[in-house]
Copies of this chain bind each other. A is one copy, B any other.
């Protein structure tokens, strides 16, 4: 019987995620499945949580991978931390902060937005003004905006939010594992990420952390969390404590994958991993510049791991360029989203993709495709 899995090509994943998976993570995925209450598995969970805390730079007890992709992390943070009628401020400058607006609104939050041009960062002065004039139960922002390639100044917004009573929620899907993310130092109450970006692991899990303050709010809600699957107090009953209570069956093998990717991160070392992401970003940016391509985002605000490139006017069919890169060169890059469709390409340098041979292969391919 024909089996499509036998014919999967090795694609160099340079889009906005998933990124290339490390060979050791593939191995980890195929380790023998254990029961979700097996003491050996619980020991793996415990070590994984310690690594996650270190990666996120937090002492938060509630630090664990949720059984869904990064978007499940977003859903979980909002559904646990807000109740209908709560006032929420969302700092919007891309697809993922817009998604926050949609998620929070569906849950009955009264959402205010503060909008910034796509491709520019959140302006702390504007946030300060807004927080002086209005009070909120929660303020949310995206650290690394995957749709534009912009790095938002979480560290600068943090003291502004901390000077109010609001909880501070941060999307670190694309930044975690590729650049500094300091949950405690930045006063973050809730942070979620994904496995398929800088952690060199396939999509499927969403690492999250909640501060004690946030977890206390979740525990003292007026009404139960209207989402049993993502109820963090129930999930914590399985991930924490001396007696683990069954909630849902954990995705065992995906958890092996994340465990291994965290091992790889600490074996290479935090500083070395972040330096590699920066260096590969510089190599790519300078190579693109030599090809006559320009970056969409101003230099100081660029993310190392997500490079938005302005599509030159000479390119009539940008989809054809991406298609040729994929079909002829086995390289995937990303299209623009929303208002940036047709205006930018998005080149990911995340985790195992942030390698010199990958950058050179892409630059060579771009050179050929764009000069034809």
* A residues whose Cβ falls under 8 Å from a Cβ of B: 1, 3-5, 7-11, 13, 15, 17-18, 20-21, 26-36, 38, 40, 43-44, 47, 67-72, 74-75, 79, 99, 102-103, 106-108, 194, 196, 202-204, 224-230, 246-254, 256-257, 259-260, 263, 266-267, 326, 332, 337
Contacts and interface: CB of A to CB of B under 8 A. Distances in A.
Nearest to A326: B38
Contact of A203 (B68, B224, B252): B252
Contacts of A225: 106
Copy tally for this chain in the complex stands at 2
Nearest to A47: B4
> Interface SS of chain A: helix, strand, loop or mixed?
loop
Which of A30, A43, A79 has the most chain B CB atoms inside 10 A of its CB? A30
A369 to B, nearest CB: 18
Nearest to A327: B39
A99 B228 contact: yes
Nearest to A25: B30
Given A11-B38, A227-B106, A259 B4 contact: yes
Given A4-B47, A21-B33, A228-B75, A251 B204 contact: yes
Nearest to A18: B33
Given A196-B249, A228-B75, A249-B70, A35 B8 contact: no
A70 B228 CA distance: 12
21 contacts: A1-B266, A3-B263, A4-B40, A5-B256, A9-B32, A11-B38, A13-B35, A18-B35, A20-B33, A26-B30, A68-B72, A68-B229, A69-B249, A102-B228, A106-B224, A106-B228, A196-B249, A203-B249, A203-B250, A204-B204, A251-B254
